[in-house]
Amino acid sequence: MKDIVLNKLVENGFNSPKILVLGDCMLDIYLDGACKRLAPDVAVPVLDVQSVQQCLGGAANAITNLSNMGAVVSIITMLGNDSSAQTIVQQLKQQHVDISGIIYNDSCQTLTKTRLLRESQCLLRYDIGKNYQFSPMLLKQYLANVKAVLPTVDIIFIADYDKGNIPDELIELLYQEQQKDPKIIAVDSKDYYKYRCLKPDLIKPNYEEARKILGQEEEDDRIAQALQWSESLCVVSNARWVTLTMDKDGVILFRKDSEPKYYSVPVLKNGNFSGAGDTFLTTLCLAYFNRLDHDIAISLSIRAAQIGIKKSGTAYCSCQELARQLDNNDNKVVVDLNDLEVLCNDVRKEQRIVFTNGCFDIFHAGHAHYLCAAKSHGDILIVGINTDESITRLKGSSRPVNTLADRIQVLRALEAVDYIVPFGDEFSDTPISVLEKVRPHIFVKGEEYTNETMAEESLLHLLGTKLVYIKHIHKQSTSKIIKRVQEQGGQFLKKIG
């Protein structure tokens, strides 16, 4: 019963609290492409840009996470009066964020971080803009905007990147207003001492920030070292909960008058970790607002961050994505095509869907290479897998060697595979009925289909789906493996009963 209640709470957006976000908004730009030649004039590598992605960063990424998690968000901040500011505001409008408190300064440039990527690997980052500066008139307007909104919100979320949007006068105003009408306060900053007068409910230093705050040298055993910092961090920040994040080394929660508690995290070798801390803290903030047990709150926050890391661009997570993971209990198999359509309609709004299909009978290195390469073309990989009867029709009475259940179990264990959909019946052994529900951005096939006409092609053209061919590993195929075994061992591989 508790699981059902928790899932419903998440699915319904954590009861949609009203949140005021204060801090430094930024624009993250990702230029991804190929780098295969030198410029003839200056002999430097040339990046042929194939895709451009613009994402909200800094405090604006916290907003993306909060709004996607169901919160009703207002933002009060300063931006430059430029094209980057226009892009930020446009994306905030699309998320139904109240932007009436934004003020613009002709004397500043909006903070913009541009990353140059080669096949998703970052080569270089260049930044535009420095600190935001308040004139006396703009500061007065800014503080007035904050004071007007405070009575209407449940939570104050401060994302301080030390770029000028959190002046001392703002902290003094918040202190005065907290005495009259206390709000939940969550702070993400490099300097927590200046917020201690607010007695924040939540703060989230990472290991490096905590180490510098306390003047410590890095040790080999970061977990053991960080577990000794609980009292000092609580004294410096005066916070109720201090969550110290350490990337792959996990999370430590310090609570006043409690022993520190360590939480491990699943290891992700690949992913985009930019913004993952925002995803973690925003989820924790919403869980805290709903008075969830601290163990549940941390678990939800870790799950949300893991979902965000797997996306391209800056990390974020939606309440639907988090609820779906809780509901599925990490079950990747989708049998009902109507359920598949609902899932994909939700996912498509935020992520690029890749689809591929095959028998995957005797799993080998070629399959692993193929599926990892397929996943690299998007965010979510859905794999269609032929039923046993379908394979028999296509490959003959001796196939499949492994049953559908066994083949699915292998695919479920792969990190690259997000969902698995069995297909194939007496009417069709093609994945057309699945593709109609998935409507993927990318459809992946092996290179042997390059010059063949596929039954799916007309549908892919109608859907606007891009067709991508992936090279195979030499001598790696189920048929070739069976042939080698039979030739060398003089035995036939038989179906598993």
CB 253 within 8 A of CB 298: yes
pLDDT of residue 42: 87
Q: What percent of the chain lies above the pLDDT cut of 90? A: 63
Whether residue 244 is found in the same domain as residue 96: yes
When pLDDT is cut at 50, 70 and 90, the band that residue 70 belongs to is: very high
Whether residue 276 is found in the same domain as residue 417: no
For residue 467, give Cα distances in angstroms to 37, 233, 422, 450, 453.
26, 53, 21, 10, 12
Whether residue 283 is found in the same domain as residue 182: yes
Q: Which domain holds residue 216?
A: 2-328
Quote the CA–CA distance of 166 and 348 in Å, as a whole number. Answer: 36
Whether residue 289 is found in the same domain as residue 315: yes
What average pLDDT is seen over the chain?
A: 89
Evaluate whether residue 497 is within a structural domain: no
Whether residue 380 is found in the same domain as residue 294: no
Whether residue 405 is found in the same domain as residue 322: no
Which range, of 199-208, 216-225, 327-336, 463-472, averages the lowest pLDDT? Answer: 327-336
* pLDDT of 497 over the 50 cut: no
Evaluate whether residue 495 is within a structural domain: no
Whether residue 319 is found in the same domain as residue 240: yes
pLDDT tens profile 266-290? 776 565 666 788 999 999 999 999 9
CA nearest 293: which of 264, 261, 323?
Answer: 261
* pLDDT of 495 over the 60 cut: no
Whether residue 352 is found in the same domain as residue 303: no
Whether residue 250 is found in the same domain as residue 355: no
When pLDDT is cut at 50, 70 and 90, the band that residue 1 belongs to is: very low
Whether residue 26 is found in the same domain as residue 172: yes
Evaluate whether residue 419 is within a structural domain: yes
Whether residue 290 is found in the same domain as residue 354: no
| 3-state secondary structure at position 484 | helix
Evaluate whether residue 355 is within a structural domain: yes
Whether residue 269 is found in the same domain as residue 366: no
CATH code for position 20: 3.40.1190.20
The domain boundary residue, chosen from 328, 348, 375: 328
The domain boundary residue, chosen from 328, 351, 378: 328
Which residue, chain included where needed, has tokens 């549908």? Answer: 459
C-alpha count within 13 angstroms, C-beta hemisphere, residue 409: 6
How would you classify residue 490: left for phi > 0, otherwise alpha for psi between -120 and 50, otherwise beta?
left
Average pLDDT, stretch 450-457? 89
For residue 494, give Cα distances in angstroms to 203, 488, 497.
59, 16, 9
CATH code for position 474: 3.40.50.620
pLDDT tens profile 389-412? 999 999 888 888 888 888 998 998
Task: Tell me how many domains the chain contains.
Answer: 2
Evaluate whether residue 131 is within a structural domain: yes
**Number of neighbours of residue 266 by Cβ within 10 angstroms:** 11
Q: How far is CA 220 from the centre of its chain?
A: 29
When pLDDT is cut at 50, 70 and 90, the band that residue 483 belongs to is: low
Residue 164 DSSP symbol: S
**Who's near 247: CB < 8 A, 6+ residues apart?**
206, 207, 273
Evaluate whether residue 461 is within a structural domain: yes
Evaluate whether residue 494 is within a structural domain: no
When pLDDT is cut at 50, 70 and 90, the band that residue 149 belongs to is: very high
Which range, of 170-174, 291-295, 393-397, 481-485, averages the lowest pLDDT? Answer: 481-485
Show the tokens assigned to 212. Answer: 């510098």
Evaluate whether residue 470 is within a structural domain: yes
Instruction: Measure the CA angle with vertex 17, ends 15 and 23; round to 5°.
Output: 145
pLDDT of residue 196: 95
The domain boundary residue, chosen from 301, 328, 355: 328
Show the tokens assigned to 61. Answer: 């990424």
CA nearest 454: which of 442, 444, 439?
Answer: 444
pLDDT tens profile 3-42? 668 888 998 999 999 999 999 999 999 998 988 899 888 8
